[in-house]
Structure 1
Amino acid sequence: MVTVAELIDNQSAIHPNKIAIKHGERTCTYQAVNELSNKFAKIIMANGVMPGDILGVAVNRSPEMIILLLAVIKTGAAYLPIDINFPTDRINYMLNDSGVKVMITQKQFETQYQDNFKVICVENMVCESNNYNADTVPVLINEDSLAYILYTSGSTGRPKGCKVKHIGLTNLLLSVQKLPGMVADDVMLHITTISFDIAELEIYLPLITGATVVIADAEIARDARALLETAINENITIMQGTPFMWRTMLEIGWVQRLPIKIFCGGEAMSKDLAQKLVVRCNELWNMYGPTETTIYSIIKKVEQDDEVITIGHPIDNTQVYILDENLNKVADGEVGEIYITGAGVAEGYIHKPELTAERFIDNKFSGTPGSKMYKTGDLGKILDNGEILCLGRVDHQIKIRGYRIETEEIEFQLKQQPNIKEALITLYEDSLHNEHLIAYVVPAKKIDPANQDNLVKQWKSALGEKLPVYMVPGIYTVIDSIPLMPNGKIDRHSLPEPVINKYSKSYEAPHTATEIALTNICLKSIATDKIGINDNFFEIGINSLMAVSIMVQVEKEFGKRLPLSVMMKYPTIKELAQVIENPSLQSTYKTLVPIKPAGSKIPVYIIHGIGLNLLNVYNMVSNLDIQQPVYGIQSIGLDGTMEVPDTIEEIAAFYIKEVLKHDPVGPYAFAGYSFGGFIGFEMVKQLKAMGKDVKLLAMFDTNLQLPSHQYSLPKKFAVKFLRQFKKFGYRIFTILNQPLDLAKYLRENNKARVKSMLNRFGILEKQDGEGLPEFMQEISNKLNHAFLKYRVQPYHVKIDIFKAKKRLYYIDDSKYLGWSEYALDGVEVHSVPGDHKDMFDEGNSKILANIFQRRLDEMNS
């Protein structure tokens, strides 16, 4: 049997210098992919990995991620791909349940795994690769060898790991290579997280064909406008996504026809979506198949005049049966359950023999001993033209936004809450065809209606600790009991209609022309009869797809492109209308921003960095405790009504006035990001001089590297001279340990410096959207000027430093970031993932939030 690794090696022999992988400005040829994957495989084997072992892989999107997966295959081992954004509890369960022997990750995630597994860092592998030759790894793999393990939602309350074999993966790729088809001139976009099985198609299909795979960063994959721009700019010819993803792209105004072939899978394709997509692409393919039969098993080319959207015919070496309850074939045109057999059927579920026996059934239609067919749980029928029509689920499994969900897993986690007796999860489609996960909850004791909203927030928060975001219901309906039919089964038809979008009891109609226009825009995106101008967008059920639609319509109606984040800061029609009418919106505060104002704990005030605003902290803040209030302090001067003071002392004094206006009593807690740490230090000094109680001063990677202007002239030259030697040594160390990250950092840093110099001398005209707007750059320059005058003096305060683990540039004090001499009550260091710029990004923010919240809770206790 030929393996994926062999197919890719063949292409490296045919196209050694052709680009195989592209990620931003980086490219890797087929020869480079082949050679580095061989070296990686040898490094993995040198760490004791044997054929048949299972390796965990938790890395960010990059060429090294793809090469690493290929290397694992070459060792004869199987990989378990980990989405680094999953809750820690879920990740740990998957690692322990699957019996992972070795964990391969990045340095920034290393400490999460090293206590329980042998950990290999991919950065170290890159360095070590120079010690290995690039010869082919002689490992024998048979068709039943495991390629990878993927976890899907489980009916027992825990996810289940599906064991996918090499024969299934190879068969799928070779079949799809023929139909829908791919050739060496194609370019495919890799969008999907590696923990979702369709990612394997995006990664391997181009590489076995001699084509190119372009990696889209996670931020691009979440942004429909960026996806569309990427598809155009990168000359993408094949693009895969779920119906949800394609709908978001349509919502942002995609109208032009693109020379692409679309693969649409993961959930049912509606006729309306099909008709919109088919005129915007060269070819549209509906793809069907569960993880248990290796990604896709049945495919269909959708035509513009199709009256019914079927899933088509099986791929190569695959058979499909429509069976009744007794496993007998039903006549064509009759409805039964879809069973799939053939090369793609997986081995079963890891450590779950009973569930495996229930879903992987002996194939009585085959003469081959041991042949299995997979019970999909989907209803279907064969039409007169031989195509298969999928009619939905037999059981209560749910497909939403391309994810397959066992409702029992969510129900199990809900019932772990102390005040919930029973729980039932359903999928509901509102009148505008928006899909919602609904949780029906039977409380253990009667709930005070006035406290129900707080309980719902607690339930959501608790589920968020255990389940991925897509599995957390948005709507909760409290009922007295689960309705039952006479035979004891749940009577789902008797469940009360969920209240999807609850407007406030104090409904207020729109008054102004802007409010009326905004209300009409929102009513097109959310299924409700009316929306009050004071109703919070997110409390009435607006999700990310609806928000995209609303902001696109706002741009068309008012000619203003507002960022999605504006809806977080101004989450009502009334507030948003004021922003549209008056961009320099006046408020009670000049700089204080309520980010998460509700909660019973001591509020924390987060002070801006040199970027002036606080958008970068939203991911972290959303992961803090539900009872933790958070306010932000954005830069003075942003509203256009005030000049930036000349000194840090004056800036701190003004921010203190804003804080005291909000809370004149205290106690107080502050956190500053980077530059904001210096302002926070000065604010604490001034507040303590007033006799105020300051419980916390936290700094997010604020490095106190005394600038040379604070020294006398002779010492200034001596310090600078000595630093250059230390910088040189650190640069050598970084080249050896983080060569790829350093190369990217230096490229971006030097590019920015050159652009800045050319802009300054008028050689290069600054482009729209490049860096900070001119007025913000002026504010930033004034803040820097104030800092140059600031003299940091030792003070009796304790500082909690949340220090980024990754550092690509030299600093004088890598342990305490220079604060040990100035915080006379001590410095406590908390190591957090990421580097200085991305520590608040989605991949790192949850870990940072958990560490920060623990410190806040200590303060509150």
Structure 2
Amino acid sequence: MVTENAVIVHEASKTDKRLVAYLVPHQGQVIENTALRDFLKERLPDYMIPSAFVTLENLPLTPNGKIDRRALSQLSVSNYPLSEKTFVAPRTSDEELLAGIWGSVLNVERVGVHDNFFELGGHSLLAVSLLAQIEQQFGKQLPLAALFQGATIAELALQLNSTDTTNSWAPLVAIQPHGTKRPFFCLPGAGGNVLYYYQLAHHMGIDQPFYGLQAVGLDGETAPETRVEDMAIHYLQEIQTIQPQGPYLLGGHSFGAWVALEISKQLQLKGEKVARLAIFDTTVPFNQPIGIDWDEAQWITDVAHIIGSLLDRELEVSYAEFQQLETQAQFSYLHEILKQNGWLISIKQLQALVKIFKANCQTNYVPQAIPATPLSLFKARDIPLVSQASTQMESFSQHLKQEASWGWGQYAEGLVDIHVVPGDHHTMMSQPNVQVLAEKLRACLDKVQSA
């Protein structure tokens, strides 16, 4: 059926990576992508199955006769349908409009109504842009978690026509609610958005329920919470609507690990058991708020640098420029710069993002009377210093990183289970690095699933 093949990681940007298979069929053969995908699913785990299959007459070769992978990486995959399902064209005007938005955001020419946003290469930043464009076109604001409720055009069209807005911005987000295993509850970093956990949840497998707890205030209407203890009380109530009794599996990335630690404490004070607390790339709290003397222009500049890094773009912004503007004008200016760089977000959402990031960074959490807890620490191999906040955090935590457990040993039951994973603080959660993280996390959780 196939005479030659090569599989590479196609990198549109450092946050948009997909496995792509390039195939040369036998003469006269036609490769059916759906059949090929079904064949591979019987033999490989999901994360090893390519997102796209591209048929070529010949594979490019280097002068010494080897496959030229660099040349393959330069080929565009935007013209190839990535859906594993039979293509179904938009059937209504709403679906037609949504398909146009998806094509623009994902840089693909043809999108079917049953194509999955994340499987087409969507990630958290593209999701924000997608929902901003939907709000602009339809005049309705969907919550960031809408894509977990339905990640296809057909499902989003139903949400847009629904009149049910009950708890649409509730903290508890069912990223992957199915499976027979004990659920894993995970807290996000200082941005408060759980969309970036999709890949991790996906690679944990279909039998591992995975819930995120998003920050209060993402709707741009509610004020963010400012005390870790209050966040923990709120999130614990949400967790127990899903799992009333322990043992519990908890996790947190960056700032979210501190909230998870406090949730663990509050659960244990109630007599519940925490079977495992997973810490993703952060030290114990260092008792020093970030940016305590910053003005609004510095916070907006810092968020701009972080967004630029995640978008893999050099945004032309400076603190001096923002400082000359009134606060509202600062947001309008950044909004325009982001739009010019292909990332659409409403000013309301941008303001909410900065408010939440600022509130979380300035939280001065001092853990008190923490019960001994089984702990796993996942350290990113690389250190990004893309913003003043990350530079300050690195400076404040440097003394803690001199010790292998980054200070977590004082709260651990026994030794801290330590793992080093590829990527940096952000890219550890994206392809292809997240596959390694998921494999190690799954092994940690499976050890205590029957406890």
The 8 Å contact of residues 792 and 822 in structure 1, kept in 2 or not, is answered as no
Whole-Å separation in 2 of the counterparts to 1:647 and 1:543: 36
Q: Does residue 801 of the first structure (1) align with residue 377 of the second (2)?
A: yes
Q: Please report how far the alpha carbon of residue 804 of structure 1 lies from its aligned counterpart in structure 2 after TM superposition.
A: 0.7
Aligned equivalent of 2:429 = 840
The 8 Å contact of residues 253 and 280 in structure 2, kept in 1 or not, is answered as yes
Q: Does residue 636 of the first structure (1) align with residue 225 of the second (2)?
A: no
Quick one: which of 237, 243, 257 aligns to 1:677?
257
Whole-Å separation in 2 of the counterparts to 1:216 and 1:522: 22
Quick one: which of 785, 793, 813 aligns to 2:400?
813
Whole-Å separation in 2 of the counterparts to 1:648 and 1:195: 39
Aligned equivalent of 2:361 = 784
Instruction: Name the amino acid aligned to 2:430.
Output: D
Whole-Å separation in 2 of the counterparts to 1:832 and 1:761: 42
Instruction: Name the amino acid aligned to 2:400.
Output: D
- State how 1:469-548 maps to structure 2 within 5 Å: 469-470=51-52, 500=86, 517-518=93-94, 537=114, 544=120
Q: Please report how far the alpha carbon of residue 617 of structure 1 lies from its aligned counterpart in structure 2 after TM superposition.
A: 1.8
Shift in CA distance, 542/649, structure 1 to aligned 2, threshold 3 Å: closer
Quick one: which of 762, 767, 787 aligns to 2:334?
767
Aligned equivalent of 1:507 = none
The 8 Å contact of residues 570 and 576 in structure 1, kept in 2 or not, is answered as yes
Q: Does residue 464 of the first structure (1) align with residue 46 of the second (2)?
A: yes
Structure with higher strand content: 1
The 8 Å contact of residues 590 and 639 in structure 1, kept in 2 or not, is answered as no
Q: Please report how far the alpha carbon of residue 585 of structure 1 lies from its aligned counterpart in structure 2 after TM superposition.
A: 4.1
Instruction: Name the amino acid aligned to 1:768.
Output: H
Aligned equivalent of 2:442 = 853
Whole-Å separation in 2 of the counterparts to 1:578 and 1:807: 42
Whole-Å separation in 1 of the counterparts to 2:423 and 2:163: 34
Q: Does residue 695 of the first structure (1) align with residue 275 of the second (2)?
A: yes
Kindly indicate whether structure 1 or structure 2 has the higher relative contact order, using CA contacts under 8 Å at least 6 residues apart: 2
What SS class does the counterpart of residue 409 from structure 2 fall into?
coil
Instruction: Name the amino acid aligned to 1:784.
Output: C
Whole-Å separation in 2 of the counterparts to 1:546 and 1:700: 22
Which sections of structure 1, spanning at least 5 residues, go unmatched? 1-152, 162-192, 197-214, 223-241, 245-265, 268-289, 291-375, 379-392, 399-426, 428-434, 442-457, 473-497, 503-514, 526-535, 711-743
What SS class does the counterpart of residue 820 from structure 1 fall into?
helix
Aligned equivalent of 1:704 = 284
Aligned equivalent of 2:183 = 603
Q: Please report how far the alpha carbon of residue 636 of structure 1 lies from its aligned counterpart in structure 2 after TM superposition.
A: 1.5
Shift in CA distance, 757/784, structure 1 to aligned 2, threshold 3 Å: farther
Aligned equivalent of 2:234 = 654
Quick one: which of 318, 329, 335 aligns to 1:755?
318
Whole-Å separation in 2 of the counterparts to 1:784 and 1:583: 36
Shift in CA distance, 543/687, structure 1 to aligned 2, threshold 3 Å: closer
Whole-Å separation in 2 of the counterparts to 1:834 and 1:559: 38
What SS class does the counterpart of residue 217 from structure 2 fall into?
coil
- State how 1:368-379 maps to structure 2 within 5 Å: 377-378=26-27
Shift in CA distance, 437/768, structure 1 to aligned 2, threshold 3 Å: farther
Could you report, residue by residue, the CA deviation over 1:763-799 in whole angstroms, capped at 9, with x for unpaired residues?
88332075971122123323334x2154455431122
Shift in CA distance, 834/589, structure 1 to aligned 2, threshold 3 Å: same
Instruction: Name the amino acid aligned to 1:690.
Output: K
Whole-Å separation in 1 of the counterparts to 2:122 and 2:419: 38
Q: Please report how far the alpha carbon of residue 522 of structure 1 lies from its aligned counterpart in structure 2 after TM superposition.
A: 7.8
Q: Please report how far the alpha carbon of residue 620 of structure 1 lies from its aligned counterpart in structure 2 after TM superposition.
A: 1.9
Whole-Å separation in 2 of the counterparts to 1:195 and 1:602: 33
Q: What is the root-mean-square deviation in Å for CA atoms of aligned residues?
A: 5.0
Shift in CA distance, 709/629, structure 1 to aligned 2, threshold 3 Å: closer
Shift in CA distance, 759/582, structure 1 to aligned 2, threshold 3 Å: farther
Whole-Å separation in 2 of the counterparts to 1:583 and 1:834: 42
Whole-Å separation in 1 of the counterparts to 2:282 and 2:369: 16
Q: Does residue 217 of the first structure (1) align with residue 33 of the second (2)?
A: no
- State how 1:168-207 maps to structure 2 within 5 Å: none
Q: Please report how far the alpha carbon of residue 664 of structure 1 lies from its aligned counterpart in structure 2 after TM superposition.
A: 1.3
The 8 Å contact of residues 668 and 694 in structure 1, kept in 2 or not, is answered as yes
Q: Please report how far the alpha carbon of residue 825 of structure 1 lies from its aligned counterpart in structure 2 after TM superposition.
A: 4.0
Aligned equivalent of 1:622 = 202
Shift in CA distance, 471/651, structure 1 to aligned 2, threshold 3 Å: same
Q: Please report how far the alpha carbon of residue 608 of structure 1 lies from its aligned counterpart in structure 2 after TM superposition.
A: 1.4
The 8 Å contact of residues 839 and 848 in structure 1, kept in 2 or not, is answered as yes
Instruction: Name the amino acid aligned to 1:652.
Output: A
Could you report, residue by residue, the CA deviation over 1:534-559 in whole angstroms, capped at 9, with x for unpaired residues?
xx9458x99739999xx799689636
The 8 Å contact of residues 705 and 817 in structure 1, kept in 2 or not, is answered as no
Q: Please report how far the alpha carbon of residue 517 of structure 1 lies from its aligned counterpart in structure 2 after TM superposition.
A: 4.1
Could you report, residue by residue, the CA deviation over 1:223-251 in whole angstroms, capped at 9, with x for unpaired residues?
xxxxxxxxxxxxxxxxxxx9x9xxxxxxx
TM-score, length-scaled by structure 1: 0.35
Instruction: Name the amino acid aligned to 2:334.
Output: Q
Shift in CA distance, 825/761, structure 1 to aligned 2, threshold 3 Å: farther
Q: Percent identity?
A: 24
Whole-Å separation in 2 of the counterparts to 1:663 and 1:832: 30
The 8 Å contact of residues 633 and 655 in structure 1, kept in 2 or not, is answered as yes
Q: Please report how far the alpha carbon of residue 671 of structure 1 lies from its aligned counterpart in structure 2 after TM superposition.
A: 0.8
Instruction: Name the amino acid aligned to 2:172.
Output: L
Whole-Å separation in 2 of the counterparts to 1:600 and 1:843: 27
Aligned equivalent of 1:592 = 172
What SS class does the counterpart of residue 677 from structure 1 fall into?
helix
Instruction: Name the amino acid aligned to 1:795.
Output: P
Shift in CA distance, 682/570, structure 1 to aligned 2, threshold 3 Å: same
Q: Please report how far the alpha carbon of residue 622 of structure 1 lies from its aligned counterpart in structure 2 after TM superposition.
A: 1.4
Shift in CA distance, 561/778, structure 1 to aligned 2, threshold 3 Å: closer
Whole-Å separation in 1 of the counterparts to 2:187 and 2:143: 21
What SS class does the counterpart of residue 46 from structure 2 fall into?
helix
Q: Please report how far the alpha carbon of residue 695 of structure 1 lies from its aligned counterpart in structure 2 after TM superposition.
A: 1.3
Whole-Å separation in 2 of the counterparts to 1:611 and 1:703: 18
Q: Please report how far the alpha carbon of residue 467 of structure 1 lies from its aligned counterpart in structure 2 after TM superposition.
A: 4.5
Whole-Å separation in 2 of the counterparts to 1:778 and 1:662: 29
Q: Please report how far the alpha carbon of residue 758 of structure 1 lies from its aligned counterpart in structure 2 after TM superposition.
A: 4.6
Shift in CA distance, 685/577, structure 1 to aligned 2, threshold 3 Å: same
Q: Please report how far the alpha carbon of residue 154 of structure 1 lies from its aligned counterpart in structure 2 after TM superposition.
A: 5.9
Shift in CA distance, 845/592, structure 1 to aligned 2, threshold 3 Å: same
Aligned equivalent of 1:664 = 244
The 8 Å contact of residues 800 and 828 in structure 1, kept in 2 or not, is answered as yes
Whole-Å separation in 2 of the counterparts to 1:843 and 1:546: 14
What SS class does the counterpart of residue 235 from structure 2 fall into?
helix
The 8 Å contact of residues 812 and 818 in structure 1, kept in 2 or not, is answered as no
Aligned length, in residue pairs: 356
Aligned equivalent of 1:830 = 419
Q: Please report how far the alpha carbon of residue 660 of structure 1 lies from its aligned counterpart in structure 2 after TM superposition.
A: 1.0
The 8 Å contact of residues 672 and 699 in structure 1, kept in 2 or not, is answered as yes
Whole-Å separation in 2 of the counterparts to 1:608 and 1:436: 35
